[in-house]
Amino acid sequence: MILGDPAAAAPQQGPRRLTIDEVFHRIAAKHPERLALLDAPNRKTFTDGAPRRLTYADADRIVAAIAGRLHGMGMASDSVVGIQLPNTVDNILTLLGVLRAGLIAAPLPLLWRRAELVAALGRLGAKALITTGRIGGFNYCHSAMRVASEVFSIRYVCGFGDKLPDGIVAFDDLFAAAPPDPVPPRERERQHDAASHIAFITFDVGAGGIVPVARNHLEAIAGGLGVALEGRLAQNAGIVSTMAPASFAGLSLTFIPWLLSAGTLSLHHPFDAEVLALQRHDDGGSTLIVPDAAALRLGEAGAFDGGLCSGTVIAAWRAPERLAASPVWSERDTALVDVSIFGEAGLVAARRGNDGRATPIPFGPVTAPRGSPGAVVVAELVRTAAGTVALRGPMVPRHAFPPGIERSGLAHFEIDRFGLVDTGYSCEIDPASKAMVVTGPPSGLVGVGGYRFPLRDLQEAVGQIDGAANIAALPDRLLGQRLVGDARERDAVQAALNAVGINPLIAAAFRDRGVRAEPVGA
């Protein structure tokens, strides 16, 4: 599916533009024996299955197998497939398999439960949902079956893992042998430029609720290209990433840079400093991708002096308003690249200079690598009349999704006639450098570790359970903000919120704070 005028996507003069799967398939053909994807060694502690270590040839075979199975289900081209998987090899292979089958991948946040999944997948008319048996103590396949019973369009629920419930299409057997008739990489050649077709749908949250954001192959690649160039990723780079590809940021920091470098991607989930150090040492990762707070805390603890990463650390700032006041980076042997993330609209990567301070980002074209004569423009920053940050350019979608949603009155991704997307983040102009300084998050939204909630929706959800209960957001150094709930019967409110399938971050706000809480599932 091409959004907008399909004629605008007709092949241009010059080399043919490749799709994401074609990039991967070419790497696999050129470097079949190179290590491609590695699971964390502690995989069994959080999900089913032994850790996987795949070469590009292995990965390409399994991608073809996944595509073949999806193709055999009879889904039409451009059908939407929801994907809710942990940060494992299975996740990356599934994304590629969905694309190879000519379908649209819709990666889903792990903490989304029934309420959010039904709202998101129902709006898109998703035809399938791919998940896993368990992550931590939560059974995702059981949850997916309940979601499918409420979303009429979902015809198949597929899963990785052990002891899957009846009715789940199992995928683990695809690692043993490919099906007899796998889908060739370019079987579903499109009428126009294939790279202009939608590849991914990710989800933002605005004041009106969940907002689907659709990107074609070229827009998705542009986001990852900016990160890869600013991070100076070499060919055959070793990358260790803690960020699952469940958002535009996850795709741009993990999935796309791995493809562009034709390197080895070692996946980490959930965060465990000892396991992360082991992966860095054993897998030879010269590039480490972590949330901003993790990068700064590891630096403060001297972890990089001990050899955790002597190359590059890429820090994901989901609350970019905190970047200007961040501590000075003093690790001389480790470069730090800050990535300011503006929801699902776009992101900006900037490498810190010798002084260790966050690099000022001027308004106007965003290039990568910054200051290089051959730099590539990946976006453009504009300050609106309301004093907020707006984005446009190669990584920013130009059309809302689904087509025609602008006339429905539903929440949607808004692009003005100049191609600008207002992110809602307030900003100022630094008088000395004339650069952008982000000063605050979008009004009415709460951001907790990358998850966004409309404050009004939080209060309404809690009020429906207990009219006397309250929930509020407080600043948090690690998460940006954290939720705190107050009720006479905390346990009862927490249980009721879990029962209706609400995000566990909301339910956990009502835990007994006098007792050390267990980590939120996954």
Question: What's the confidence (pLDDT) of residue 140?
Answer: 94
Residue 503 within a domain: yes
Residue 313 within a domain: no
Contact 159, 141 (CB under 8 A): yes
Residue 461 within a domain: yes
- Written as one letter, the residue type at 400 is A
Here the tokens at position 31 are 């470097």
pLDDT tens track for 324-336: 889 898 887 889 9
Mean pLDDT (the chain) is 88
**Which of 375, 367, 388 lies closest to 437, judged by CA?**
388
pLDDT tens track for 149-163: 999 999 999 999 988
More confident residue, 111 or 371: 111
Residue 479 within a domain: yes
Confidence of residue 187 (pLDDT cuts 50, 70, 90): very low
Phi/psi of residue 133, nearest 5 degrees: -65, -50
* Distance between CA atoms of residues 516 and 512, nearest Å: 8
Question: What's the confidence (pLDDT) of residue 518?
Answer: 42
In sequence order, what are the beta bridge partners of 482? Answer: 474
Confidence of residue 310 (pLDDT cuts 50, 70, 90): low
* Distance between CA atoms of residues 477 and 244, nearest Å: 21
What is the mean pLDDT of the segment spanning 86-105?
Answer: 97
What is the mean pLDDT of the segment spanning 296-309?
Answer: 69
What is the mean pLDDT of the segment spanning 413-438?
Answer: 92
What is the mean pLDDT of the segment spanning 235-261?
Answer: 95
- Assess whether pLDDT exceeds 80 at residue 112: yes
Residue 465 domain boundaries: 445-508
Residue 476 within a domain: yes
How many domains does the chain contain in total? 1
Residue 191 within a domain: no
Contact 498, 505 (CB under 8 A): no
- Assess whether pLDDT exceeds 80 at residue 362: yes
Question: What's the confidence (pLDDT) of residue 394?
Answer: 95
Question: What's the confidence (pLDDT) of residue 160?
Answer: 96
Min mean pLDDT across 6-20, 383-397, 398-412 is at 6-20
Question: What's the confidence (pLDDT) of residue 475?
Answer: 83
**Which of 169, 154, 160, 116 lies closest to 139, judged by CA?**
160
Question: What's the confidence (pLDDT) of residue 306?
Answer: 55
Here the tokens at position 45 are 């502690």
More confident residue, 270 or 36: 36
Chain-centroid distance of CA 437 in Å reads 24
Question: What's the confidence (pLDDT) of residue 309?
Answer: 57
Tell me what percent of the residues of the chain surpass a pLDDT of 70: 91
Question: What's the confidence (pLDDT) of residue 522?
Answer: 40
Residue 117 within a domain: no
- Assess whether pLDDT exceeds 60 at residue 308: no
More confident residue, 521 or 244: 244
Question: What's the confidence (pLDDT) of residue 14?
Answer: 54
Q: How many CB atoms lie within 10 A of CB 62?
A: 26
Tell me the CATH number at 453.
Answer: 3.30.300.30
- Assess whether pLDDT exceeds 90 at residue 420: yes
Residue 330 within a domain: no
Question: What's the confidence (pLDDT) of residue 182?
Answer: 56
* Distance between CA atoms of residues 447 and 321, nearest Å: 12
